[in-house]
Amino acid sequence: MQWVPETARPKILLIQFRGVGDVVLVTPLLDALRQLWPEAEIHWLTEPRMPELFLGDPRVHAFWLRRRGPALAPLARALRAERFDLVVDSQSLPVPAKLSWATGARSVGFKKRGRTPFYTWAVALSDHAGTGYTADHKLDLLRALGHRPLLSEPRLCPHDAPHAVWENLPDHRRAVVVPSTAVAHKRWPAERFVAVMEAVQSRAPTAFVVAGGPGEQDQVRAVADGCGFPVSPITANSLGEFVRIL
C-alpha cells in the first residue's frame, strides 16, 4: 500500500519536540517530504526557540508551538482547523501522539505503549528498513507509507548574512567547535577538544570558532586558551545567531 495525497499540494504536519540535536536530526525527514511532494505545505509543531534555527528556511511553511503549561485543547482545535492531509510524528511522545489524533488527519508514528491507537499507521521501533542511524530510522515513517525516501545529511539552510566572527579569521576551511552541554556527565574535558582541533589543524589549515551560549563562557574559554594557534571564542545569545555562525 502506498499513501498518495489527493492533491498536488498536500498540507503536512511534522511533529518533533525536544532539543536542538533532536530537531536537526529530523531535517533529513523534512528533506524527504520535500522530495516526495515538492509543492507540499509543510507545517512543523515543535517547542519555543526551535524555529530560530529555521529563520528564512524555504522548506517550512509555518511553525506551531507547544508551550509548557497551558491545556492542549486550544492548540488541538487550531490544528484540527488546518485540515491537514497527513501528520508525521517523528517522536511519538504522549502529547504529540494525542495531538496527531486530534488533528483528524491520517497520521504515522512509532509503536509505543499506549500511543499506537492514535496513529493510522504505526511503525515498530525495532523495524529498521534502512539503517540504525537515528535520522534514517525516522525515514521508516515514510517507508511505512509505501515510499522510498532518500537519506540526506542533517542540515540547516545557510543564512544570507554570515556572522562577523569569520571576518578576522584566515581564509581557510572553517570549523565550529561547541564544547558545552548542560549535562555534566556528557561534557568532554577541554583538553580533548584541543587535541582534536590540533589533529585537524595538522592535516590542513583550519579557521576555528569555539562557540557556546549564555553562561557557557568558561567552557568556551578553556578550549580557546588551550589551543596553540589562534581561534575565535564567541557567545551566541540566541539560536538564530548560532545558525549565522554555522
**What grid cell was written down for 55?**
529563520
Q: For residue 40, which of 10, 6, 61, 63 has the smallest C-alpha distance?
A: 10
| Alpha helices (H) in 37-68, listed in sequence order | none
CA separation for the pair 89, 110 (Å, rounded): 8
pLDDT of residue 40: 97
> Who's near 81: CB < 8 A, 6+ residues apart?
none
Question: Under 8 Å CB-to-CB from 190, ≥6 apart: which residues?
Answer: 179, 219, 222, 223, 226
pLDDT in tens, 46-69: 988 899 888 888 999 999 998 877
CA 126 to chain centre: 22
Q: What's the confidence (pLDDT) of residue 159?
A: 67
Give the separation between CA 53 and CA 56, rounded to whole angstroms: 9
pLDDT for the residue 110: 94
What is the pLDDT at residue 24? 92
Please list the ranges in the chain whose pLDDT falls under 70.
70, 158-160
Per the CB < 8 A criterion, the answer to whether 121 and 142 are in contact is: no
Q: Are 234 and 211 in contact (CB under 8 A)?
A: yes
C-alpha cell at 166: 569569520
The answer for 177, left when phi > 0, alpha when psi is -120 to 50, beta otherwise, is: beta
In this prediction, residue 70 carries a pLDDT of 67
Task: Tell me the pLDDT tens digit for each residue of 149-178.
Answer: 989 999 988 666 778 888 878 888 999 999
pLDDT of residue 162: 75
Per DSSP, 119 falls in state: -
Are 124 and 143 a contacting pair, CB within 8 Å?
A: no
For residue 206, CA distances in Å to 148, 174, 197, 228, 234 come to 38, 6, 9, 13, 17
